[in-house]
Structure 1
Amino acid sequence: MIEKSEMELGGRTLSIETGHVAKQANGSAWMRYGDTIVLVTTVASDKEADLPFFALTVDYREKMYAGGRIPGNFFKREGRPSTGETLHARLIDHSIRPLFPLTKVETQVYVTVLSFDGQNDPSVLALNGASAAVMLSDIPFQGPIGAVRLGRIDGEFVVNPTYEELEESDINMVLTGTEDSIIGVEGEFHEVKDDEVFKAFEVGHEAIKKLVDFQKELVERAGKPKREVVEVERDEDLAKVVADLVTDRVKEANRLPVKEDRATTLSKLKDEVLEKLEEEYPEREKDIGEEIYQITKEDMRSMILDDKTRIDGRSLDEVRPVSIDLGILPRAHGSAIFTRGQTQALCATTLGSKMDTRMVDDLEGKSFKSFMLDYNFPSYSVGEVRRPSGPGRREIGHGALAEKAIEPVVPAEDHFPYTIRVVSEILEANSSSSMASVCGGSLALMDAGVPIKTPVAGAGVGLVMDDERWEVLTDILGEEDHLGDMDLKITGTQDGLTGIQMDIKIGGVSFEILQVAFERARGALNHILGKMEEAISTPRESLSEFAPRILSIKIDPSKIGIVIGPGGKMIRSIEEIGVTVSVEDDGLITVTSVDATAGEEAMDVIRSLVEDPEVGKTYSGTVKRVTDFGAFIEILPGKDGLCHISELEHYRVGKVEDVLKEGDETEVKVIGIDDQGKIRLSRKVLLDPPEEGEGDAEPANGKGRGRR
C-alpha cells in the first residue's frame, strides 16, 4: 500500500513516499524536495553476525543521470564512491548509529540520488530519508531523527539554503537530532562568533522537531511492527570471577600515565586471566575479554565522574603539552611538526600552478580546487601492523575536516595565484589527529610564506555521563574517546570559528552540555593559538627558493589565439624558455617557473605578442620588406608598419636600400595609425636634426644606415 506525507520546509515542499518502490527491502523512503529525489532503503539480516560491534554499513551514491550528465571517466559509468559521497555516507552513519539498540544483526542503509535540480541538497534529504526508512522498517531503532542544513545571509538564519544561497552564506552547517537533543553536527564557517554558532543550533533544532513529528505521523500509518530485541544474558558467575581477578589490577593500569604502559599492562592481564580460566570456562575468550573491557571502561568513567581525574593524570580542563618545529623539510616549500601529547602531525605545503588544481566531477558539474589538504594515517602511528592501502573513509573524512577548517583564511586566487596542497602525515596518534592536522597545516602554510589571513587551530573535547552526572573533558585521549560518550571538535581563529564536527555514542546531548563543551573547546583553542603564535606570528615574507614563481597577465580574450599560435606552436616555443603557461578562457595567462629570470623572459614575449602599437611610442623593429616608397618594419610580433622613404632620414633619400635593407634592426616611432589599423612609422624623428646648412645634403659612406 502506497503512503505519502508532505510538509513545507524552507519555503519548499518536502515529501516522503513508501510502498511504491523497493518493496522487498525491510524499509524504503522515496524522498523529494523540489526536483531533487533520493531513494533510501534499509535491509537487516535475519541472523546475528559473530562480530564484536554493530555491523552497520551506509552507502551513499549519486547517479550522474540525476543531473542529466554522463560520467566523465574513461568507462563513462559510476565507479567507486567519490570523496563527496564518502563524506555524506559518514555523516549519515554517525547520525543514526547511536540510535540502534545493541545488536549484532548486520544492517545496511543504501542511498541513491535519482534526481538533482541543482539547488536542493540531496545529502540532507538522504539523512532524513535514512531515519524514515529505518523507522518504517521492522528494524529496531530509537528514532526518528531530523536533519537540516543551516545558513546565514546578512545576519538572518536560513533553513535548508539553496546552493545559490550558500554562496552568500557565512555559515554552512548540517545539524541532526531528536525532538529533545542534538546528535550530530558538521559545519564550516567564515570566522563566525561562538555564540552565533550556538544560536544556529537553536534555530536548526526547531526545524528538526517538525521533521521528527512529520516522520512519526507517516510511521503511524505505514510502519512495520518492530523485531524483538533479544538482550544477551550476562553470565553473572563469570562476571564475578573475572571482577575478583582483575578489578584492582585494572585500576592500577588505568592510573599509569603513559598510553603504551597502560595497553601493555592490560594486554598481559587479559592473557593471564584467559590462561587461568581456560579449564573452568572453555571457549569463553570473547566473554572474558568483554568483562575486562567493561571493568576498564567503568573504572575510567568513575575516575572522571567521582574523582575528577583522568587516566594520564591531567585535570578535566587541561590541554596536553604542545611543541612546534618549523622548516623541518628543506626541499618542501613549507613544513611543520605539531605535537600535542602523544599526537603528532608532520605537515608539508607544496605550491603549484593552475595546471596543478584538482578536478572534482560530481552532480554539480566539473570544478577545480586550488586549495587541498590530504591526511594520511599510517598504522605505525598507533604501533599496529596493518596492510598498507589507499586512503579509507576515516582518512578522507579527517582530511576534509582539516581542509574546510583552514580554507576560510587561505588567500583568494587573484591575490595569491598558486595551487596549494597541504599533506598531513600522522606520525603518532592518541586522539584528535585531525585537529593536529589543522594546527600543523596552518603552521606549514605560514612557513611557506602563504599569506593566510590568520592562524587556525583545532581542539577536541569529550563527554562522560551517566543517568545523573556528566563531565566535559578537554583535549581527550584515545581511550577517553573510545570509552566516552562524545567527540566534539572545533576549529577557528581568535576572531571566530571555521569548523565543527560532533559525534556521539548516546541518544543525544542537551544544549546545556553543548554550551559547556563549547566554552571548554574555545579555551583549549585559544591556548593552542597562543603556542602557535610563539612559534611563528605571521607568514614568512618570502617564498621558498624551491617554490615556483608565478606571474600573470590579463589579455583581450580575442588575442588568445595569437599566444597559442597555429597548432600550439607559439605557446610551445614560450615554454621552451623553461616555464609552464596556463591560458584561461577569460584571457588570464599565468606563467609558472622556478627560475624567476625565465618567467620574466616569457612574460616579455607574451606582452609583445598581445601588445597594441601606441602612437608616440618607440619600438625596436626588424626590416621585413623594402619597397621603392619605404620599408615595412615589424615592431611587434606579427605587426608591421610602414616607414615612408621621407621618414628615414632628415636628408633626401634616393633609395631606401641606401639606409635600410631586409633584416636590419632599427628604432622607429609610431607617428600614426589609421582607421584600418595601418601603422605609420618614422625613423628620422629619433635622429639628431642636421646642423644648419646641411639640410638635404646626403651623408657620405652610407652614414645613417641601420644595424645589419
Structure 2
Amino acid sequence: MHKVEVDVQGKIFSLETGRLAKQADGAVVGRCGDTVVLATVVSDRIEKKGLDFSPLTIDYQEKAYSAGKIPGGFFKREGRPSEKEILTSRLIDRPIRPLLPKGFCCETQGIVNVLSYGDENIADILGIISMSAAFTISDIPFNGPVGAVRIGRVAGSFVINPDIRETEECDLALVVAGTEDAVVMVEGEGQEITETDLLEAISLAHQEIKHVCALQRDLHAIAAKEKRIFIPPVVDKELKKAVAEIAIEKIKSAITIPDKMRRQKTLDEMLEETIEKLNTGETDISREISALFNDIERELVRGMILNDNIRADGRHSEEIRKISCEVGILPRTHGSALFVRGETQCLAVVTLGTAEDEQRIDSLEGESSKTFMLHYNFPPFSVGEVKPLRGPGRREIGHGMLAERALKAVIPAKTEFPYTVRVVSDILESNGSSSMATVCGGSLALMDAGVPIRTHVAGIAMGLIKEGDRVVILTDILGLEDHLGDMDFKMTGTEKGITAFQLDTKIGGISHEVMERAFEQARQGRLYILDKMKETIAAPRENLAPYAPRIYTMQIKQDKIRDVIGTGGKVIRGIVEQTGVKIDIDDSGLINIASPDGESAKKAMDIISGITAEVELGKIYPGKVKRVVDFGAFVEVLPGTEGLLHISQISDKRIAKVTDELNEGDEVLVKVIEIDKLGRIRLSRKEAMRDKSTERTLS
C-alpha cells in the first residue's frame, strides 16, 4: 500500500492505493477527516471506431452505510441515483473529460463510492481529487492531474473547504478545479457578488489546487503504472485535401447561413455529396470523410471569428441576438412567460403551492425540505429530432439546478412569502444558451405570478475561440459555437451582482486574464438583457393570479401549538373539515392557512384565535358550565380554559344549592375577578350581571 498526504488550510487530505479494488486500472482511497471515498477507473482496451469524443462515464454513489443509515423504501437498498448524486457525477466528470487526450476513444468508466460520510462537506471535492489520482496512477492516457477545492466567503473572509455549518453562512460558494497551470472548471452561486470578488476567490482557490496536484504527483512517483501505448489518430492529408477540393468553398458559403436548420441541412447535403464522390473503393471510408469534413468546418468557423470577427449568424463577438419577452400568455397558470433569444425559445411557468407541496429530501446529511424548485425540460422537437421521451437526463437536471441557483438569490423568505414555488422551463426551440434562457424566462414568470422577488435575474452564455495567443471571447453563443469552441461559460445575475456561474473548458484550462475579460464582457451582456426584460415587466404584479391559492399567516405562542393541534390531531382536523382550508403550523408557532377564498380562511383564523386566546382580568365572557360541585361550578370561558365560579358569586341573593341556579351545559355570562400566581381563574356571575345592567342603564 502507498499513501501520501498534504495539509490544505488546516485540513489533512490523504490519498492511498494498493489495498482496495486492485483489479481496476486505477483505484485510490481519498480521506479528509471522517470522510472516505473510493475512486476507481477502468478503460476498455478496444477502441471504439467513428467517435469524435471520448466515451467517458463518471458515476458518484453515496452509500447509506457511510452515514450509519439504512436506506428507506421497501427493498432497503440503494436504488437509482438521487439528484445530488447525478449533479456530483457531473461535477467530477467536467474537469476530468478535457484532460483525456484528443482521439482517445476507448470506453472508460470512473466510479466514486462514498464509504464514510463526515461533517466536512468534502465528499464531492474528494471525489474529484481521488478520481484524478486514479487516472494519474493508472495506465490510461491522461493529461492531469487536476485538483479541486471548495471556497466560500463567511462574514467577508474567504474560507477554503468550509464545513456544512460554514457553507450555510456563505454569501459566495463555489467549487474550482484546475491543473497546476490553469483553471479547468468553476461552479457556484453567490448573493449578488461582484466580478472582482469572484475572480479573487478563483485565484485563491487555484493556489490551493496546486498543492493538491503536487500530492497526486507524489503518489504517481511511488505507485504509477506504465501508461499504455496510445497513438493519436493521424490525419490522412491526401484524403483531407480531396475533401477540401470538393467541399471547402461550399462549406464557406453554408456556415454563413443565419438560419440553423437551413444551415445544417445544407451542410448535411454537402457531406453526403462528398462521401458519394470519395467513398468509391472497396473499403468504407465514410466515417473518415465525415470526420475530415467536420474538421474543415471547424477550422473555417473558428478562422472566420478570429480573422474577421464574424460569426455564423453574422454577429460580431460581443453582439447579442434579438430578444423578445412576453408574460401572462397562459390563462389558467399562476404565472407564465415566453422568452426568445434568436432561435432559442423558453416557455417558463410558475405554480404556487402550500407547505404540503414542499420537496422533502432525505440525504446523508439528514432530512430537509425545499420551498423553491426549478425543473428544466429539453424535448427532442426543440432541435428537430425524434427521440423517445424518458425521465430527465443528467444534462436536464444539471441545467435545471444551475437556473435554480440563479433565481434562488432573489426568492423571498418563507416568512415573507409563505408559498412553495415551482418553476418549469420547457425549451420549445434551441440554438444555444437554453439554460440561460430558462433563467430569464423564469424571472419574468415569477414577476407575472406576483412572487415578490427583489429584482430581475438574467443569464448569458459566453464562449471562447483560442489559437495560440489569439483569443476571441464570444457573447451569447450559438449551439455551433458551443460545439466548436474552447469554453462554455454561463453567468447569471442582477444589476447589482452575480447569483450563479458555471465555467467549463475544452483546452486544459484558461488563464486569469482571459477569465477577467470574459467576466466583464458577460456583465455588459447581462445588463443589456436585464433592460430588455424590464421593458416587458419591471416589478412583480401586486395581486396573485385568480387560480392561485391564498395563504394567510398568523402567529401564536409556542405553548398554544398543542391546543390547536389537539390530541392525535383532533382539533386541527376539525377546523379543516369545518372550513375546507389547509393548515400548516411550524415549531415557532407560525401558522399558514391556505384557502381558495378569504371567507373560509377568516373563519379558520377566528376559530384558532378563540383556541389560543388568553383570559383577561376584568373581562366578561360567555361561558359554559362543565362541572357542578358543592361549592360552585367550573365554567369554560375559552376553549380548554376553565375557571371556578364559587357559589357565593353565582347570584346577589343567597342560594342553598348550586343546582338551584346552574346545571351542566348551561350557558352563563361570567366576569374574571382573579387570576392567581398559579394561573387559576376565579369567576363571578353576579358581577357580570351587575356590569351588564349598568351598561343597559347608561345606554
Please give the TM-score of this superposition, normalised by the length of structure 1: 0.93
Distance 1:681 1:329 in 2: 62
Alignment of 1:369-380 (within 5 A): 369-380=370-381
Structure 2 counterparts to residues 90-169 of structure 1, below 5 A: 90-101=90-101, 102-169=103-170
Structure 1 stretch displaced more, 179-188 or 217-226 = 217-226
Find out whether 1:461 has 2:466 as its counterpart.
Answer: no
Which string of whole-angstrom CA distances, capped at 9 and with x for unpartnered residues, describes residues 191-240 of structure 1? 11111101111111111111112211221121111111122233333222
The alpha carbon displacement at 1:645 in A equals 5.9
How much does 1:648 deviate? 5.6
Corresponding position of 2:27: 28
Cα RMSD for the two superposed structures = 2.2
Distance 1:667 1:16, change over 3 A: same
Cross-structure match for 1:589: 591
In structure 2, what is the Cα distance between the partners aligned to 1:593 and 1:326?
A: 26
Q: Render the CA deviation track for 1:553-574: whole Å, top value 9, x for unaligned.
A: 3444444333233333222211
After superposition, where does 1:619-638 map in structure 2 within 5 Å?
Answer: 619-624=621-626, 632-638=634-640
Between stretches 248-257 and 234-243, larger displacement belongs to 234-243
Counterparts of 2:277 and 2:302, CA distance in 1: 28
2:221 corresponds to 1:220: yes
Shift of 1:663: 5.0
Distance 1:360 1:174 in 2: 22
Write the deviation string for residues 609-658 of structure 1: whole angstroms up to 9, x where unpaired.
23222212333334445678766443222323344566566677898788
Shift of 1:599: 1.4
C-alpha contact 1:356 1:419 (8 A) present in aligned 2: yes
Kindly indicate whether the alpha-carbon contact (under 8 Å) linking 1:334 and 1:349 is maintained by their aligned counterparts in 2.
yes
Structure 2: unaligned runs, 5 residues or longer = none
Q: 2:581 is aligned with what amino acid?
A: V
CA offsets 1:369-403 (integer angstroms, 9 cap, x no match): 11111111111111111100000000000010011
Match of 1:3 in 2: 2
Which whole-Å CA distance do the structure 2 matches of 1:507 and 1:193 have between them?
Answer: 26
Partner of 1:69: 69
Matched, 1:38 2:37: yes
Distance between the aligned counterparts of 1:158 and 1:686, measured in 2? 69
- Is residue 80 of structure 2 the alignment partner of residue 80 of structure 1? yes
Q: What pairs with 1:343-362 in structure 2 (closer than 5 Å)?
A: 343-362=344-363
What is the CA distance between 1:136 and its match in structure 2? 0.5
Alignment of 1:260-339 (within 5 A): 260-280=261-281, 282-339=283-340
More divergent stretch after superposition (570-579 vs 665-674): 665-674
**SS of 1:689's equivalent?**
helix
| CA distance, structure 2, for counterparts of residue 616 and residue 525 of structure 1 | 64
Aligned pairs, how many? Answer: 691
1:409 paired to 2:414: no
Contact 2:672-2:681 at 8 Å conserved across structures: no
Opposite residue 29 of structure 1, the aligned amino acid is V
Pick closer, same or farther for the CA change 1:608–1:250 going to 2, 3 Å: same
Specify which of 668, 689, 693 is matched with residue 688 of structure 1.
693
Distance 1:342 1:220 in 2: 51
8 Å Cα contact 2:670-2:683 kept in structure 1:
no
State how far apart, in whole Å, the 2-side matches of 1:36 and 1:377 are: 36
Question: For residues 274-673 of structure 1, what are the structure 2 equivalents within 5 Å?
Answer: 274-280=275-281, 282-576=283-577, 577-624=579-626, 632-644=634-646, 647=649, 665-673=667-675
Identity fraction in percent: 49
Contact 1:648–1:684 (Cα < 8 Å) also in 2: no
Asked if the contact 1:405/1:492 (under 8 Å) is kept, the reply is yes
Q: Is the 8 A contact 2:337 2:348 kept in 1?
A: yes
In structure 1, give the amino acid aligned to 2:611: L
Q: Structure 1: which 5+ residue stretches go unaligned? A: 693-708
Deviations 1:451-494 (A, max 9, x none): 11221111111001112311000000000001111110011111
Once the two structures are TM-superposed, the CA of residue 346 in structure 1 deviates from its matched residue by 1.1
Change in 2 beyond 3 A, CA 1:637/1:83: same
- Give the match's secondary structure for 2:295: helix
User: Do 2:488 and 2:504's aligned partners in 1 also have CA atoms closer than 8 Å?
Assistant: yes
Q: Alpha-carbon deviation of 1:75? A: 2.2
In structure 1, C-alpha distance between the alignment counterparts of 2:24 and 2:233, rounded to whole Å = 27
Q: Which of 682-691 and 561-570 deviates more?
A: 682-691
**1:39·1:114 contact (CA, 8 Å) conserved in 2?**
yes
Alignment-derived partner of residue 16 in structure 2: 17
Q: Do the aligned residues in 1 keep the contact of 2:436 with 2:459 (CA within 8 Å)?
A: yes
User: How far apart in 2 are the matches of 1:426 and 1:224?
Assistant: 46
Match of 1:202, as an amino acid? S
3-state SS, counterpart of residue 409 of structure 1? coil
Partner of 1:541, secondary structure, is: coil
For 1:547 and 1:425, how far apart are their aligned partners in 2?
21
2: CA distance, partners of 1:492 / 1:72: 38
CA–CA separation in structure 2 for the residues paired with 1:218 and 1:44: 20
